[in-house]
Chains A and B, each alone.
With several copies, the nearest count.
Chain A
């Protein structure tokens, strides 16, 4: 699936949720399902700033495709990062680096997070795009 197809399917999924409880429950589920990150990435270097609990993120690159692993110590936050991974994992770096993540607004997550937390969400998205940009630039140069 393309990034936008995934975004659209998430929007559809969320559209049946009536309230924040459903959304949070879903995020908790996603969070619990997120495969753990390799222990060696659980260091300060891989921490995302701007989150109020710990979130570690790593990205790998092969043949133009970027893949992410992530983990968080709080499960709802982990669910949020899992959502982002779901959308951006195994996509072309060239697309990820410029992607418009319109699903965030559409699924009511931003309003559902207090401003500092939606900052956390935005920091994660930003970091993921930055990884894509960095890999893309590095490999183009070669």
Chain B
């Protein structure tokens, strides 16, 4: 296994080579969104300058070209997660839209009064609120799998949540706060033993490890392009064909229909049934370039390197007096949420900002996680393969400086 050539990689990301407030940028807000490699930036440029044209519609050269690229992207994404068929890959505008699509469409078909949905205490709001909205409409209810002090799901409690009313499990593959990589195979197997399908929210997983949806036997898998080095406004819903075939459409409009009349409208085949309107084909092709970039570096190399970042940052942060890391699972991505005794995270982050270090503060769209620890907010530093050990040192120095100023 080769290691990461950090210098080369950092050259691939133009944004990283800049200064803010005259300090070199240290970008540790990758959990919110990742930066884009040159290959993605240039591809988007190229489309806009040379090939832009609406897909599936025109009979002309450019339209043919764009359609080909758009569909080749779908095939690329299929291969990336090893879906069985490319009709199982639905383009959406992001993870949030993917979950909303599913909650609506699955909900219309399979959820009725009294039914139950299992989620977890560590979910992102995007994997809570769509289900709450559904439950309100259908008078169904949500059951919550708790996590322990390390940030690990309590699988025994999860097992006990199943009843004959359970219709679906929707759980983060990886938590955007605690960083926990959940035992998804176990989660899926348990659900399947009750004949309940599983949605995995892969927003924080797909960029860190190899996903094989067939091997996992997962029913639905969702993620956002912008968190895996691709553009904004595009995301994926993977679903097993048997479910997608049965589910009704979510949005209506151009492209998702076969025949429209005022008496009877028939819907298009998969995946188009779920793709209404002009697609974000620029985003789709941009995503593909990002996936190719990742593959060239090697997702296993990325994982190995990020693991080192995780361990180094854990070790160094723990040396800081009064600093508490939340989320200490043994199975964790390279993200750290933490607070410092008697210092507001926002103050620390303001000072870090001035040092050129971009972290995030707040509840990270996961208020139940904050509630678990009885806090309002934390600092989050999320590191990826273009970050360095030196940057972690700078973070630690910055925190100490802030501590000095603030305490």
Contact = CB atoms under 8 A, between A and B. Distances in A.
A contacts B: CB pair < 8 Å:
yes
Interface of A: 20-21, 24-25, 28, 52-53, 73-77, 112, 114-117, 119
30 contacts: A21-B354, A24-B350, A28-B347, A28-B405, A28-B406, A52-B346, A52-B361, A52-B362, A73-B344, A73-B346, A73-B376, A74-B347, A74-B350, A75-B344, A75-B347, A75-B406, A76-B347, A76-B350, A77-B346, A112-B354, A114-B59, A114-B60, A114-B353, A115-B64, A115-B68, A116-B63, A116-B64, A116-B68, A117-B350, A119-B68
Q: Among B353, B376, B406, find the residue whose CB has the most chain A CB atoms closer than 10 A.
A: B406
Given A74-B347, A114-B64, A116-B67, 18 more contacts: A24-B354, A24-B405, A25-B405, A28-B347, A52-B59, A53-B346, A73-B346, A74-B344, A76-B346, A77-B346, A112-B354, A114-B63, A114-B65, A115-B65, A115-B67, A116-B64, A116-B68, A117-B64
Contacts of B376: 73
Contacts of B373: none
B347 A117 contact: no
A70 B83 CA distance: 35
A116 B353 CA distance: 13
B405 A21 contact: yes
Contacts of B65: 114-115
Nearest to A19: B354
Contacts of B354: 20-21, 24, 112
Contacts of B405: 21, 24-25, 28
B351 interface: yes
Chain B at the A interface: SS class: helix
B61 interface: yes
8 tightest CB-CB pairs across the interface, nearest first?
Answer: A114-B64, A74-B344, A74-B346, A115-B68, A116-B64, A53-B346, A115-B64, A114-B61
B21 interface: yes
A116 B59 CA distance: 8
Contacts of A77: 346-347
Interface residues of B, number: 21
Nearest to B72: A115
Interface of B: 21, 59-61, 63-65, 67-68, 344, 346-347, 350-351, 353-354, 361-362, 376, 405-406
B358 to A, nearest CB: 10
B351 A24 contact: yes
A75 B61 CA distance: 19
Contacts of B362: 52
Contacts of B21: 20
Contacts of A75: 344, 347, 406
A117 B59 contact: yes
A112 B355 CA distance: 12
A81 to B, nearest CB: 13
A21 B402 CA distance: 10
Contacts of B351: 24, 76
Contacts of B353: 114
B275 to A, nearest CB: 17
Nearest to B353: A114
Contacts of A119: 68
A133 to B, nearest CB: 20
A28 to B, nearest CB: 6
Nearest to B376: A73
Q: Among B60, B347, B405, find the residue whose CB has the most chain A CB atoms closer than 10 A.
A: B347
A77 B59 CA distance: 12
B24 to A, nearest CB: 16
A114 B58 CA distance: 10
Nearest to B362: A52
Q: Among A24, A74, A112, find the residue whose CB has the most chain B CB atoms closer than 10 A.
A: A74
Nearest to A75: B347
Contacts of B406: 28, 75
Nearest to A32: B406
Contacts of B64: 114-117
A77 to B, nearest CB: 7
A21 B351 CA distance: 8
B84 to A, nearest CB: 19
Contacts of B59: 52, 114, 116-117
A24 B67 CA distance: 23
